[in-house]
Amino acid sequence: MKSYYTVLLIIGITSLIASFLPMVLKKFRMSFTIPLLLIGALMYFLKTPLPWPNPVWDIDITLRFSELVVIISLMVAGLKIGLNYSWNEWKNPLRLIGFTMPLFMLIVFLIAYYLLHFDGPVALLLAAVLAPTDPALASDIQLDKKQKVGSKNVGVQYNLTAEAGLNDSLAFPFVFLAILWSQNDSLGAAEWKEWLWYYLGYKIVIGVIVGVVVGFAYSFFTRKLAQFKRLKIQQAFVALSLTLISYGLAEILDGYGFLSVFLAGLFAHYHQHTKNETIDSDPSLDFITNVEQFLIIFWMIFFGGSLVGGILDFNTIPTLLFGVFLVLIARPLLGYISLYKSGLNTKKKWAIAFFGIRGIGSVFYLTYAIKHGNFEDINYIFSSVAFIILLSIVLHGFTTKRIMPKIDHN
């Protein structure tokens, strides 16, 4: 029984420390995630009674926890962007989705298969889980508030937020392709047919429909209720409710819930945008953002503990070089090329290309695939992905607050 109270004490102390970290770290200009890694490592070393990885993460716990963090982060991203951007302004993040992500996946697959000698399903899985940028750990470089038409950001912050909102969903079909391959000796005509119509077609369409309908329905009904001036909606819980409704409904209908959540966030302000009205029923960004940060704190704690616990031990010199190449060369170069005719200046192009953070979304995809597929070399996959996430967290954590203030003013 005392261990239970010890856990409560640890949670309380850790969350309190994390509350002061942004203020303390302002002088040092680093992300709050880096001290949390160190706290997690220290807590593991002190053998605090928490469910630490041994040495890799527990599949079920990690799957559900990372899933929750990602869907909340996607709602935050959707609510900040809203419907304030034109098609021309959406073209830049779509360049990152349509050019950078597939070419990045191809490079990962070719290196993993031909140079690192992983088998086909594992190489494809690595390509899929490392493709999306992370909507949670990238919060320091994304939009910091709900955008308005007259003062919206169209630079680095907007493009990274929109990219993170979309690519978490669009990497999922390739995770399923890797799962299908792992369950069969090869990808035959039947597997390709199933993948194309169901995983690439049906699930995306359902995800889009559910997200748009949920966001639109919320916007419509709150506009109708706005005529009753004395009735007030409890805004604090709305964003969290929309997250769970859109995600749960999409998954029940076998659609991509990540896509639904992001679109529900976009369309939650539909009538305010199209009717140019101000309605006192906005989903509260403050509440759900605080929930997001609270969950990230403990994800980082466990990740820091897993580093000391040995999750990196299965790496080799080639896999370490592979990770450095992806973070420092492949993503920045492909990102910059995709933005060649974007209209952004050179500094903003390089910043968007450089800040392709890998994180919690990759962990969700990895644990989901391992739970549902039949993959070999699981420990090596975990170790490779963990190193790339660590490299991304440290590199971007030390550079974000130094670079962003000098670049993204609009």
Residue 272 is assigned to a structural domain of this protein:
yes
In this prediction, residue 50 carries a pLDDT of 78
* pLDDT of 233: 59
Number of domains in the chain: 1
Give the domain extent around 55.
30-407
Residue 118 covered by a domain: yes
CATH of the domain at 117: 1.20.1530.20
Q: Is residue 16 part of a domain?
A: no
HEC sequence for the chain: CHHHHHHHHHHHHHHHHHHHHHHHHCCCCCCCHHHHHHHHHHHHHCCCCCCCCCCCCCHHHHHHHHHHHHHHHHHHHHHHHCCCCCHHHHHHHHHHHHHHHHHHHHHHHHHHHHHCCCCHHHHHHHHHHHCCCCCCCCHHHCCCCCCCHHHCCCCHHHHHHHHHHHHHHHCHHHHHHHHHHHCCCCCCHHHHHHHHHHHHHHHHHHHHHHHHHHHHHHHHHHHHHCCCCCCCCCHHHHHHHHHHHHHHHHHHCCCCHHHHHHHHHHHCCHHHHHHCCCCCCCCCHHHHHHHHHHHHHHHHHHHHHHHHHCCCCCCCHHHHHHHHHHHHHHHHHHHHHHCCCCCCCHHHHHHHHHCCCCCHHHHHHHHHHHHHCCCCCHHHHHHHHHHHHHHHHHHHHHHHHHHHHHHCCC
Task: Give the pLDDT of the chain (410 residues) as one tens digit per residue.
Answer: 567 777 788 778 888 877 777 777 677 777 888 888 999 999 888 888 877 877 778 889 899 999 999 999 999 999 989 888 888 889 999 999 999 999 999 999 999 999 999 999 999 999 999 998 887 776 677 777 777 777 788 788 888 889 988 887 788 999 999 999 999 988 889 999 999 999 999 999 999 999 999 999 998 888 776 666 545 556 668 889 999 999 999 999 999 999 999 999 999 887 665 555 544 445 677 888 888 888 888 898 999 999 998 999 999 999 999 999 999 999 999 999 999 888 888 899 999 999 888 888 999 999 999 999 999 888 899 999 999 999 999 998 888 878 877 775 55
Domain membership flag for residue 1: no
Check residue 281 and give its pLDDT.
47
